Amino acid sequence: MPADVKAVEIDRRSNLSYDEFVRDYLMPRKPVVITDATAEWKAASWTPEWFREHYPGKKLLTDQGEMVMEDFIDAITTNGDEPGPFLREQPLADVFPDLVDHVQPTPKYALPNWLGGNYLLGRVTQRLNRESQVEVNFCGKRIFPYLHIDDLHVHAFINQLYGDKNLVVFPPDQERFLYRKGNQRFSEIPDVDQPDLERFPLFAQARPTRMVLHAGESVFMPCGWWHTTRVPGASLSTVFSIANASNWSDLVGDVENELSHRPKLASMYSLFLRGTGFVKSLGR
Ligand SMILES: O=C(O)CCC(=O)C(=O)O
Ligand SMILES: [Fe+2]
């Protein structure tokens, strides 16, 4: 076994200043659990029962089909053996437009965020803007369906609001043990807690970092870090993503790859995005 592979330790911080965040976590691309980033959010008091009371009869599009709120809450608060329904990666502004102000203010660590705004080409603008939306993940006991990295090399903040969440995390240099599906952003390993080592022998060399995120805590997941989650019971959380000077060049590389069927457009566009990034970084 190569001696250089060690599980990474993940700090838990509160009262973290912006400058410390940038120096110790954002620039070195090191995950950190921040225990007080969302303390002022109204969403800090979200519970399954609160949703039941506030949205009677509301139809939800879960991964198991359409359900009304009451049935959904019953299902996610009952710990059966089968995974229950999952309201997964849905834009908060679409599903609960009246709750957008519940996730304000945006934590200072997530600024500036260059994912909003207009980037001339409609398709690219939409792609970036979509990543900038706050998404909700509501579910009962279950595993997040896949070990993955996030799209477009964005950095993510996962904000746990109700219940616990177990995370399994691997740094980018362990990708060689993780059986990436081609050049997609997913691993072929269905469950890192019960890996089939005959099928995935290199995984034996991986050194996962495991941690629990409690309600009120957020984790900063830098771009390129592999992660998956499991929840032992009902869980409410949001995820939002950022791009700025710290990861812009990686993001532009991804956009360029996506346009690779039109090489001229891809290189012009990449030049434009890099230039825009440069101007934005001067504006700070
Ligand atoms: O909140 C979770 O359980 C995982 C979310 C996540 O990693 C994602 O949406 O990309
Ligand atoms: Fe993710």
Ligand 1 pocket test, pick from 133, 139, 229 with the greatest ligand atom count within 8 Å of Cβ, gives: 229
Radius of gyration of the chain (CA): 19
- Residue 2's pLDDT is what? 55
Parallel, antiparallel, or unpaired: how do β-strands 226-231 and 142-143 relate? antiparallel
In sequence order, the 6+-apart residues with CB closer than 8 A to the CB of 34 are 13, 14, 16, 107, 109, 217, 218, 219, 220
Question: What secondary structure does DSSP assign to 13-25, as a single string?
Answer: ESS--HHHHIIII
Which DSSP helix (H) or strand (E) runs through 236?
strand 235-242
Closest CA to 131 of 263, 255, 256: 255
For residue range 106-123, list pLDDT tens digits in order.
999 999 999 998 998 898
Ligand 1 pocket test, pick from 86, 239, 240, 241 with the greatest ligand atom count within 8 Å of Cβ, gives: 239
Q: pTM of the prediction? A: 0.95
Q: Which ligand neighbours the alpha carbon of 89 most closely?
A: 1
Return the biggest CA–CA distance within the chain.
Answer: 56
- Residue 268's pLDDT is what? 93
Whether residue 21 contacts residue 109, with contact meaning beta carbons closer than 8 Å, is answered with yes
Q: Is the pLDDT of residue 39 over 60?
A: yes
For residue range 52-97, list pLDDT tens digits in order.
999 999 999 999 999 999 999 999 999 777 888 999 999 999 999 9
The atom of ligand 1 lying closest to the CA of 135 is 9
Query: Which residue is listed with tokens 């330790």?
Result: 9
Q: Strand, coil or helix: what is 196?
A: coil
For residue range 159-193, list pLDDT tens digits in order.
999 999 999 999 999 999 999 999 899 999 999 99
Nearest residue by C-alpha to atom 9 in ligand 1: 89
Domains of the chain are 11-244 (2.60.120.650)
217 lines ligand 1 (CB under 6 A): no
d(CA 219, CA 34): 6
